Amino acid sequence: MNRIDQLFQNVRERGRPAFAAYITAGDPSLAQTNEIVLALAEAGVELIEYGVPFSDPIADGPVIQASYTRALDKRLKLSEILDMLGGVTADLAAPVVTMVSYAIIYRHGLEDYVRAAKAAGAAGAIVPDLPVEESGPMAEICRKEDFSLIQLITPTTPRDRALEIAERTTGFIYYVSVTGITGERTELPPKIVDNVGWLRTQTELPICIGFGISRPEHVKMLAPVADGLIVGSAIVRRVSQAAEKPREEVLNEIGDYVAELVAALE
């Protein structure tokens, strides 16, 4: 069984969502990225999104865009990112998925990317810019390799299209909580609960909610309808302080912040 499938089987048996965290590979460095991953896991993160930096992201807000810029300034190669990822996955109970642009996958070669990511210990990929109409070849390769292809559904996705996306998705559905780009929010729209509730009646896939989640009250609001909650910008913003603060202080701040959100699931 794929590690993602195993995670969400456990999640449903215990009746509490998984906590997932996003980080950008190479920010502030590849070695420090893996230190952050281990700190997140120690704080209770059960699923890691390992973001592959890209020069033209489609849905990422200024915090994550800035992290991409810092990572790309180091002229990192995909092979270096996956090699470094492979050095940490063996020490993790949490499955790792890459958040990666389809442009990168296509340039690398669909089958080659899936096999390389899998060899590095990744259990799947979130591909935000892959339209469902064009996802067939990638979906077929992922099925063959038992590698999850995670796709996004947004509040503006028509329901018939949402069902088509769900049919092509494996691992879990990434439900985008708000329209627009990633970033911390003070409030989340209450209609998320109804939207996810409807989607849950249409598919047996786990549903993870991301974009904007940054506070314990967000976690408590969404926990009853979600199989997983994803926090990104709030963590990446804390990572961005690495150039100004001692390394241990930054790791402790990230761990304490995540532990507070994980505690809100109880």
- The per-residue pLDDT for 181 is 46
Active-site residue, from 49, 140, 249, 253: 49
How confident is the model over 181-212, as pLDDT tens digits? 454 444 565 678 888 989 999 999 999 998 77
**CATH of region 17-152+227-263:** 3.20.20.70
How confident is the model over 22-75, as pLDDT tens digits? 999 999 999 899 999 999 999 999 999 999 998 876 656 678 888 988 898 999
- The per-residue pLDDT for 59 is 56
Domain map of the chain by residue range?
A: 17-152+227-263
| Secondary-structure percent of the chain, ordered helix, strand, coil, rounded to 5 | 50, 15, 35
Phi and psi at 131, nearest 5°, equal -65, 145
Enter the pTM of the model: 0.91
Among 79, 54, 58, smallest CA distance to 68 is for 54
Distance between CA atoms of 175 and 173, rounded to whole angstroms? Answer: 6
Mean pLDDT, all residues of the chain: 90
Residue type, 136: G
Is 83 tagged catalytic? no
Is 187 tagged catalytic? no
Active-site residue, from 5, 27, 46, 60: 60
Could you tell me the strand order of the sheet in which 96-99 lies?
148-150, 122-126, 96-99, 47-51, 18-24, 228-231, 207-210, 173-176, 152-153
How confident is the model over 108-164, as pLDDT tens digits? 999 999 999 999 999 999 999 999 999 999 999 999 999 999 999 988 899 999 999
Angle at CA of residue 223, ends 217 and 226, nearest 5° = 135
